[in-house]
Chain A
């Protein structure tokens, strides 16, 4: 119902403004989006954006799990790494982008690094919280039953941390697509963000809207997917 309301309001305002350049209507936007899909033009940048987002995401997941576990299990590591996480969180994306451009120029590395830096603190802090919330009584039970350490780690430690991470990622999934698009827009050589930059320079507002709608759809789809995983593992 809310979505219908947004489209109706968008349609009314676009009719009122009556300028394709300033605000294309939702009908025109979806027409353009379907044209891009049917012609297949949308797929190379879409796949490239997806690939970069996934690489950055999995890198953040791996590094975040490692760092979060270190921080949760050892107070010294927590004291050492907590300020670093705060710094990574506080530095504005544009500063990282500027550095990425200086270090690697325009290309795929910048957007991947930006996705990584956006998600890494979120994953780390949630893994850390998860480790602190591990039920020590379950670990005690496992030790009495002489369960192997590797299995205790996999089934109790990872099992306890997993819901924390999935819920954190599902909340910040919008951030993932936003950060990759911004990074591509400013420091990328291909991808949806670059397409938006091209459309902007050619004053093709309808293309900007079409690609934006695509990013919104990606955000919603990934959130729905992650919520379903979250539900599956809830207890």
Chain B
């Protein structure tokens, strides 16, 4: 991504955003609410167009884990997974549901699921297309603290294997400190990149103290915006 700018009419939202996501890397885009993080994801996924700059995506296999789930309400969990598959295959879809621990809920509709289950189904839908890049918009929003931590652990395990590269948008320093290989802080009006934090411990080996240290660092950076 090079010098990406986005204007909505006369309102300049993003200015000169440039960064790379390497293969196998998890980048967390951290910034206050309303700073244009979701807009950036929408530009990468093709929902929005950019005003200037360029984006080069090595693969067109992109999946999007939406903040508001966007599950089809009249379809069951299994049907929601099958819907996005190029060649719908129930056995593959069931295997993915097992990966996200929803194997006993394949015939349940989203409205009958808890917030955490819907998030996992949302993740499963992204995984089934075997994406090379997963875009995640506040993946742990609107779930309680306990669910959030269990989902975060779960996502970390997926980042070891099923998910190749990910770009996670979050306003939460904790999520960034636990999951990010690279943490990009954006903010201001218009939003620009303020800082790039590169933790020196691998995301899978971070101890509690190191995570706390990172959280503090990110929180301080966010407070300066």
**A contact set with B: CB distance below 8 Å:** 137-138, 140-147, 151, 155-156, 159-160, 162-163, 233, 235
Q: Which residue of A lies closest to B135 (CB)?
A: A144
Q: How far is the CB of B142 from chain A (nearest CB, A)?
A: 16
Q: Given A137-B68, A138-B70, A233-B74, are A147 and B84 neighbors across the interface (CB < 8 Å)?
A: yes
Q: How far is the CB of B125 from chain A (nearest CB, A)?
A: 8
10 smallest A-B Cβ distances: which pairs?
A145-B84, A141-B70, A235-B73, A235-B74, A144-B64, A144-B45, A235-B109, A159-B74, A235-B111, A137-B70
> Among the listed B47, B72, B73, B125, which residue makes an inter-chain contact with A140, where contact means beta carbons less than 8 Å apart?
B47
Counting contact residues on chain B (CB < 8 A from A), the size range is 20 to 34
Report which residue of B68, B84, B111, B129 has the largest number of chain A beta carbons within 10 angstroms of its beta carbon.
B84
- Per-position contact with A for B65-80: 1 when CB-CB < 8 Å, else 0? 0101010111100000
- Per-position contact with A for B29-63: 1 when CB-CB < 8 Å, else 0? 00000000000000001110000000000001011
A interface, by DSSP: helix, strand, loop or mixed? helix
For B64, the chain A residues whose CB sits under 8 A away are 141, 144-145
For A144, the chain B residues whose CB sits under 8 A away are 45-47, 62-64
B interface, by DSSP: helix, strand, loop or mixed? loop
Q: How far is the CB of B8 from chain A (nearest CB, A)?
A: 17
Whether B72 lies near A145 (C-beta < 8 A) is no
Q: Which residue of B lies closest to A151 (CB)?
A: B83
14 example contacts (A-B, Cβ-Cβ < 8 A) are as follows: A138-B70, A138-B72, A140-B47, A141-B64, A144-B45, A144-B47, A144-B63, A145-B84, A147-B83, A147-B84, A159-B75, A162-B74, A163-B74, A233-B74
> Among the listed B47, B83, B110, B125, which residue makes an inter-chain contact with A155, where contact means beta carbons less than 8 Å apart?
B83
Q: Given A140-B47, A145-B84, A235-B109, are A155 and B68 neighbors across the interface (CB < 8 Å)?
A: no
Further pairs besides A159-B72, A160-B74: 4, Cβ < 8 Å: A137-B68, A141-B66, A144-B64, A235-B110
For A138, the chain B residues whose CB sits under 8 A away are 70, 72
Expressed in whole angstroms, the Cα–Cα distance for A159 and B80 within the complex equals 13
Q: Which residue of B lies closest to A156 (CB)?
A: B72
Expressed in whole angstroms, the Cα–Cα distance for A155 and B125 within the complex equals 16
Q: How far is the CB of B218 from chain A (nearest CB, A)?
A: 29
Expressed in whole angstroms, the Cα–Cα distance for A155 and B60 within the complex equals 23
Q: How far is the CB of A121 from chain B (nearest CB, A)?
A: 26
Q: Which residue of A lies closest to B112 (CB)?
A: A235
For A156, the chain B residues whose CB sits under 8 A away are 72
For B62, the chain A residues whose CB sits under 8 A away are 144
Whether B75 lies near A155 (C-beta < 8 A) is yes
Q: Which residue of A lies closest to B111 (CB)?
A: A235
Expressed in whole angstroms, the Cα–Cα distance for A122 and B60 within the complex equals 44
Report which residue of A142, A156, A160, A235 has the largest number of chain B beta carbons within 10 angstroms of its beta carbon.
A235
Expressed in whole angstroms, the Cα–Cα distance for A191 and B165 within the complex equals 68
For B125, the chain A residues whose CB sits under 8 A away are 145
- Per-position contact with A for B81-94: 1 when CB-CB < 8 Å, else 0? 00110100000000
Q: How far is the CB of B64 from chain A (nearest CB, A)?
A: 5
Whether B73 lies near A145 (C-beta < 8 A) is no
For B73, the chain A residues whose CB sits under 8 A away are 235
For A147, the chain B residues whose CB sits under 8 A away are 83-84
B window 114-164: CB within 8 A of A:
125, 129
For A142, the chain B residues whose CB sits under 8 A away are 83-84
Q: How far is the CB of A174 from chain B (nearest CB, A)?
A: 27
For A140, the chain B residues whose CB sits under 8 A away are 47, 70
Q: Given A140-B47, A235-B109, are A145 and B129 neighbors across the interface (CB < 8 Å)?
A: yes
Q: Which residue of B lies closest to A162 (CB)?
A: B74
Q: How far is the CB of B211 from chain A (nearest CB, A)?
A: 32
Q: Which residue of A lies closest to B66 (CB)?
A: A141
Q: Which residue of B lies closest to A139 (CB)?
A: B70
Q: Which residue of B lies closest to A234 (CB)?
A: B74
For A235, the chain B residues whose CB sits under 8 A away are 73-74, 109-111
Q: How far is the CB of A220 from chain B (nearest CB, A)?
A: 27
For B47, the chain A residues whose CB sits under 8 A away are 140, 143-144
Q: Which residue of A lies closest to B70 (CB)?
A: A141
